[in-house]
Structure 1
Amino acid sequence: MGLLLAACASVRYYAQAVRGQSELVFHRRNIGAILADPATDPRLAARLVLAEQARRFASQHLALPDNRSYTRYVDLHRTFAVWNVFAAPRYSVDPVLHCFPIAGCVGYRGYFSEADAKADADRLRRQGNDVEVGGVSAYSTLGWFADPILSSMLRWDDDELDSTIFHELAHQLIYVKDDTAFNESFATFVQDQGLREWRQSRGLPAKNGRDEAMENGFTTLVLDLRERLKRLYASDLDQPTMEAGKQREIAAFRARYAQWRDRDWPGKHGYDAWVAAPINNARLVPFGLYDQWTPAFAALFKQSQGQWSAFYRRVRELSRQPKRQRDDLLAALNGRA
């Protein structure tokens, strides 16, 4: 019965994924046609013109795929493209993995409907897991479809919109099954370095590094909490003692955050809402995946004399290594960054 229920749940999951992706394909419009339409909102047109320019820059200067991705637009009429469901056992920081034919095993499942995401979250919660549901404005089909620009992406500023195009095209270029940290760190490096070169090409100054420094500092605090919890969960304690220790660690994290914010970033409260909301193992899952190996890719880019084609060759060589060997090589590169 359990196997049958799991099979039914998988069928429902793939059915909603096919339905949601099909709706995007059906409703996408060519950006050129939108810009030629005199009824188009001038603000939308301006955003799409800049995104179109960034898309050309991605292929011509960053050596990213030259295809139909991000040459079309879809108005979703909703805030997010998909809602991701993260789950982790109550006393583990390792995510519950979900395996797919194309993407391999990843620590989340994405739903085109928030109601479907919450239903899956309830199911995972009943199994005793910590669960988190988060809306996502963009995602990649890894080149299986021509990914469009989504109205949800236009909620961002120009830099975030353009750099996300670079990020998602990087996934289309190189993707390793079952290695989320490698994939996301690689795409994040391409996103950040690509944005630097894109701004420079337009005569814009380098971005203020303070926001990035604050983001990195906050991520370090969260990763420290995860490591503390990991050590706690590895101890031989009974469940009530483990639970009490978990709550103490979370409370101590909030105190450390307040001290760090007031000491290093007085007047800045951008992360207050995240810290004040309920914290569990599932909320910690995404942290570290997007930047674990970015220093390694920065070192590799430097070794490639800043030449994108040479850099991608080196990344592909790494991608073909067994995971343990690949991680060792990345760790060594991290140390040189």
Structure 2
Amino acid sequence: MAMMPEQRRSSTPQIRIALDAMGGDNGPSVVLAGAARVAAKRPDVTFLLFGDSALVEPLLRSHAALAKVATVHHSDVAIKMDDKPSQALRTGRRVSSMWMAVEAVKRGDADVAVSAGNTGALMAMSKVCLRTMPQIDRPAIAALWPTLRGRSIVLDVGATIGADAQHLVDMAIMGAAMASIVLGVPTPSLGLLNVGIEEIKGLEEVKAAGRLLRDAALPHLDYRGFVEGDDLGRGTVDVVVTEGFTGNIALKTAEGTAKQIAQYLRDAMGASLLSKLGYVLARKAFDAMREKMDPRRVNGGVFLGLDGLVIKSHGGTDGLGFAGAIEMGYEMAHHDLLSKIRESLTLAQEIRTPGVSPAAESS
């Protein structure tokens, strides 16, 4: 049974967000906690909750404000976190909470879908249901990256393995469009992740993509050349482009390093009475550092290149983290990311030759 949202008196267009309520390690409890946080902050948001109504509706009643702006759509099929993408498509196509959330975007009932579920399954379902944009061969996952300068965008962090020059160029164009929204930079700076900054270093496809971006001098992005791994944390550029294998390893390494440092600090602060006193005296500084290193603050990967908006949340996050993923989806929908990407692809048409590898052309 659906709970209908209370009508609001507002001239602001509503942003309709579809949520896979069964996704993630903790399912509806975390999804609804995150949605409740956003509902309290955003008066122009409504939610479509897809999941087992026997589990979702009792939780929804405990979030009175959210219940006024949410509808529950029943699905008794949930994609498991360890399901293979092919298996998820066979068992969950059209009937699972994940598919139904994505399909709501395709039908035009929602502006964006958000799920904390199985990444591979979500990407597979999104590609089958929404398809890619006409100009794009393969989608990418773009993530926010905390840096010394603030935040950067890194892509691809795991959608596809390997990339030719054209795919790297496409990711650069899409990442710059996203950065203009998230970072508020009209002409984002961009670099290609490489083993060195010299133009003679790296794989041929990376070097070919660099030549294309440098020679084109696109008006909507500021290509700065190659960047190295240590530039990720420095925030040397606004957008870092790499292929999914390297990007995913970099992401997991950064997350693991953050946890390692946090554990070192906890051990050091509890090692002696003097260190405990030092922690008390410097508590505000440690709290500020902890907040900057908190992965929940930058939760949410955007599936770029699809003909619709889909956001992937970390599966093990809590309500605060899931709210961050919803906020990411809100920003992408509110600022019409898809239109910006289409416009950017049109402007870059002179360096896009579908079906032909730029590396092959330059050889």
Query: Counting strand residues as a fraction of each chain, which structure ranks higher?
Result: 2
TM-score class, shorter-chain normalisation, is under 0.3
TM-score relative to the length of structure 2 = 0.24
Query: Counting helix residues as a fraction of each chain, which structure ranks higher?
Result: 1
Q: RCO (CA 8 Å, sep 6+): is it higher in 1 or 2?
A: 2
TM-score relative to the length of structure 1 = 0.25
